Amino acid sequence: VLWGTHKSCHAFHLAPRTLRFPSVSATGAPRWNDHDRPEKFNFASDVLDYWTQMEKEGKRGPNPALWWVNSQGDEVKWSFRELTDFTCRAANVFTQTCGLQQGDRLALILPRVPEWWLVAIGCIRTGIIFMPGTTQLKAKDILYRLKQSNAQSIVTTDALAPEVDSVASECPALKTKLLVSDHSREGWLDFQSLIQSASPDHTCIKSKTTDPMVIFFTSGTTGFPKMAKHSHGLALRHSFPSSREVLQLKASDVLWCLSDPGWILAAVETMIEPWTAGSTVFIHHLPQFDPKVIVETLFKYPITQYIAASSVFRMILQENFGRYVFPTLEHCSTGGEAVLPEEQEKWRQRTGLLLHQIYGQSETGLTCATPRGSQVKPGSMGKAIPPFDVQIIDDKGNILPPNTEGNLGIRIKPTKPIGLFMLYENDPAKTAKVECGDFYNTGDKATIDEEGYIWFLGRDDDIINASGYRIGPAEVENALAEHPAVAESAVVSSPDPIRGQLVKAFIVLTPKFLSHDPDQLAKELQEHVKAVTAPYKYPRKVEFVPELPKTVTGKIKRNELREKEFGQM
Ligand code: BCO
């Protein structure tokens, strides 16, 4: 292939720490400010190509833009210049070979392979709206995504191509299927060889800041995932001083964010934020999560900043590796789920490093954080990141006083801030439902103290947050309903010391299965859920019950079951 992989001795020289604030003009002045709304912005041409130019002018050190490794010792290192070259080729593949145009949709379902970044940036260059998805998706999940979005194209691997083929006939809009693989497959285009033969000459579109850039699928309380559509403003926002202040990345930093590429956290922390700063994005392929590999990697490579879900930190602490002084690690952040003060303290004792909480949603991107160097209040997810005006609101959108429990809201009136999602695609009712007075209501319960620090309390609905995954109960209940043993089920969150919350299913069995061995049946149902929908959603706890609590109108009282789990009844 064009770039190949090579074994490496990992010799690496950090760049001089000169470019302190990225996305600055060559004269050093910031190019955008917190409240700027440039009419045109494109992350590829305005940020990536800027760093390519810096490299050409010798104004950026020799560290790569992307540094990818796997456990077999393979390695890929790309400079910004190479990234520009390869992503221009990707753009030409999409427009010339696949016939895609600005505004078309492309499903991007790849594991942590370098091609993910080529596809994402190639889409940004052309205005094709990319839709990341985790590789845990199954045929039905993929069908739903392709149909809902009217996707014209999909990029995936060998592992998922058969799942796509099994549903492709039901997706009339799907024109091209691109495969990232060493093998060919009938009906699929070979992405790597197309990149090789494509021209590196491409003129980036002049996208409006408000043009759509990416869609993230996010679970809701009812029904199937919603499509949270973001504009190019999602990327612009990370050029603002207030966003840069959070991690204070420099061109010499090496940032490793563990998030699966299917989530907004990965788009922001393995692409937008580090490349805005001209930093190195470090990626470990990591098909299976293993805390030992994480610790070894932090020792082996010159990683300066590390971001992962809180469960990952808990799983590392659980291993009892003793004290670890990582040679280059300076800053750790955690997001996707709440972290307890005791856990932050444990991490500090073991590593000498503070664990900074960040908070956001697929709809909002990064919303709150404790900027590097400012006071960490253990248990708090920090302060609002401007231009987001975060307030605690009641159900009518009135701002509540400090230390009062309410909904975490982001002000959208009179002006919607840059970086907040545009809308739920095809769903004006759900878009309207999350508007609450002058605010977007996140649905998360929180308090704010007199100093502006925000404290997460939980959800105000049935959404489950298990090890950083947001899971809608209906998705699991629908999967269970397909099994003949299940008469009906209710899925709720249940507390867990490592994953924060677990998915728990209360199941009423059909008469035929009442005599079955409950342990074996529970395992069978768990495997069934893993087979029909993304396995991260499977119920790790199962309880068989004779009936489910219901209201007089027959609605299942999930809240009653949940409260029982959390010992509130
Ligand atoms: O635990 P089990 O072994 O029983 O099951 C696991 C997997 O083995 C299994 N599985 C995975 N792929 C499969 C499969 N089974 C069958 N077929 C397949 N193809 O399914 C279960 C998956 O659970 P998991 O993903 O939680 O796995 P694991 O290894 O326990 O990973 C632990 C974590 C902590 C690494 C993982 O849970 C994780 O990555 N969590 C973080 C999620 C995240 O990044 N959230 C951020 C979202 S973005 C956001 O919040 C906005 C912030 C700005």
Confidence of residue 23 (pLDDT cuts 50, 70, 90): low
Residue from 490, 506, 495, 471 nearest 566 by CA: 495
Q: Where are the alpha helices (DSSP H) in 441-495?
A: 473-481
- Is the Cβ atom of 539 under 6 angstroms away from ligand 1? no
pLDDT at 73 over 50: yes
Structure tokens of 481? Answer: 């309903």
| Residue-wise pLDDT tens digits, 140-187 | 999 999 999 999 999 999 999 999 999 999 999 999 999 999 999 999
Q: In this structure, how many other beta carbons lie within 10 angstroms of the beta carbon of residue 361?
A: 22
Sign of CA dihedral 289, 290, 294, 296: negative
Burial of 432 (0-12, 13-18, 19+ CB in 10 A): exposed
Residue 210: predicted pLDDT:
98
pLDDT at 385 over 60: yes
The lowest-confidence range among 3-12, 126-135, 420-429 is 3-12
Quote the CA–CA distance of 538 and 496 in Å, as a whole number.
Answer: 15
136: Cβ below 6 Å to ligand 1? yes
CA of 228 to the centre of ligand 1 (A): 21
Residue type, 494: S
Give CA–CA dist 528/167, Å, rounded.
19
Q: CA 502 to CA 464: how far, in whole Å?
A: 8
User: Mutation test of ligand 1: which of 112, 135, 136 has the most ligand atoms closer than 8 Å to its C-beta?
Assistant: 136
pLDDT at residue 16 is higher than 50:
no
Q: Is the pLDDT of residue 77 over 80?
A: yes
Residue among 356, 469, 476, 524 whose CB has most ligand 1 atoms within 8 A, to mutate: 469
Q: What is the pLDDT of residue 133?
A: 98
Q: Taking the CA atoms of 87, 93, 98 and 100 in sequence, report the sign of the dihedral they define.
A: positive
The confidence score (pLDDT) of residue 19 equals 34
pLDDT > 70 in the chain, percent: 94
CA–centroid distance, 360 to ligand 1, in Å, is 19
- Examine the pLDDT at 7 and tell me if it is beyond 50: no
DSSP-derived secondary structure letter, 24:
B
Per mean pLDDT, which range of 3-7, 94-98, 105-109, 408-412 is the poorest? 3-7
Question: How would residue 490 be classed by pLDDT, with cut points 50, 70 and 90?
Answer: very high
Pocket flag, ligand 1, residue 216 (CB < 6 Å): no
**Cα angle vertex 61, ends 60, 65, to 5°?**
80
Contacts of residue 306, defined as CB under 8 A and 6 or more positions apart, other chains included, come to 255, 256, 257, 258, 298, 329, 331, 332, 333
What is the pTM assigned to this prediction? 0.94
CA 497 to each of CA 111, 132, 338, 464, 494: distance values in angstroms, whole numbers, following the listed order: 28, 30, 12, 15, 10
Q: Which residue has the higher pLDDT, 485 or 319?
A: 485
| Window from 176-180, 199-203, 337-341, 464-468 with minimum mean pLDDT | 337-341
Asked if residues 12 and 63 have their Cβ atoms less than 8 Å apart, the reply is yes
Q: What is the ipTM of this complex?
A: 0.96
Q: pLDDT grade, residue 283 (50/70/90)?
A: very high
The DSSP annotation for 337-370 comes to S---HHHHHHHHHHHS--EEEEEEETTTEEEEE-
Query: For ligand 1, what atom is nearest to the CA of residue 263?
Result: 48
Cis bond upstream, residue 414 (ω within 30) = yes
pLDDT reading at 568 higher than 70:
no
**How many Å apart are CA 449 and CA 428, to the nearest integer?**
34
